[in-house]
Amino acid sequence: MALEGDINMQNCRNIDFKNHSDGRGDLVAIEHPKDLPFEIKRVYYIYNVNAETPRGFHSHKDLEQVLLAVNGEIKIRLKTPNEEEIVQLSDPSKGLYVGPMVWREMFDFSDHAVLLVLASHEYDENDYLRNYDDYEKEYAKVYKREVK
Ligand code: T46
């Protein structure tokens, strides 16, 4: 399992945001283009998730996102047909960039965990690949690669 800082797979990486920490607490600001590779068109957050209830199980065709655990701990399984990583998010100053064509599953939400997501586009159900076989076929088409 990787921590936020260690992720290294296709279309995924860690982004360290500056933490303006002082005696009063911590403050993280996120600006485009300084800190983010895309303009934010949408923000959503996921909370009140039971530890036994995984979410996600899809890929996006084009959407780029940054995921942050602004409270608690959350595990993210990232998968392509060739690679798989589990990343634990727990530091609100570290974002996980997830680009197009990466299968994701979110699980093991700790008590009071909040997953904040910054997204490059408005919500569009047509951008989702919610079936793994369809995802693999699309991946092979996009990257002109046989899947194992
Ligand atoms: C992702 C992971 C990390 C909206 O109406 N607008 C929105 O912006 C979103 C994200 C969702 N919805 C609706 C669509 C569904 O009726 O909210 C419901 C739950 O969405 P979904 O089942 O897709 O949620 P997750 O937690 O499985 O996945 C979400 C995002 O959808 C997805 O883009 O990458 O979080």
Distance 5 CA to ligand 1 centre (A): 25
28 C-alpha to ligand 1 centroid (Å) = 24
CB proximity list for 137: less than 8 A, separation 6 or greater: none
141 alpha carbon – ligand 1 mean position (Å): 25
Report if residue 23 sits inside a domain.
no
24, part of any domain: no
Q: How many domains does the chain have?
A: 1
Say yes or no: CB of residue 93 within 6 Å of ligand 1.
Answer: no
**Range of 97's domain?**
2-18+31-143
Where do we find the tokens 């959407």? 63
Give me the pLDDT at residue 5, please.
Answer: 61
Query: Which has the closest alpha carbon to 72: 92, 54, 90?
Result: 90
* 81-105: pLDDT as tens digits: 999 999 999 999 999 999 999 999 9
Q: What pLDDT sits at residue 8?
A: 83
Residue 19 burial class via C-beta count within 10 angstroms: exposed 0-12, middle 13-18, buried 19 and up: middle
Ligand 1 nearest atom to the CA of residue 56, by list position = 27
For residue 89, tell me if it sits in a domain. Answer: yes
Whichever domain contains 128, its CATH number is 2.60.120.10
Look at residue 116 and tell me if it is in a domain: yes
User: Has residue 40 been placed in a domain?
Assistant: yes
Indicate whether 130 belongs to any domain: yes
CB atoms within 10 A of CB 57: 14
Domain presence at residue 69: yes
Q: Which residue lies with its CA nearest to atom 27 of ligand 1?
A: 56
pLDDT of residue 107: 98
Q: Could you say which residues of the chain have pLDDT below 70?
A: 2-5, 146-148
| Given 58, 60, 112, 121, the catalytic residue | 58
The model's pTM is 0.96
Q: What is the pLDDT of residue 6?
A: 75
Encoded amino acid at 79, one letter: K
In the annotation, is 60 catalytic?
no
Judge whether 74 lies within some domain: yes
- Find, among 88, 89, 54, 53, the residue nearest to 68 by Cα: 89
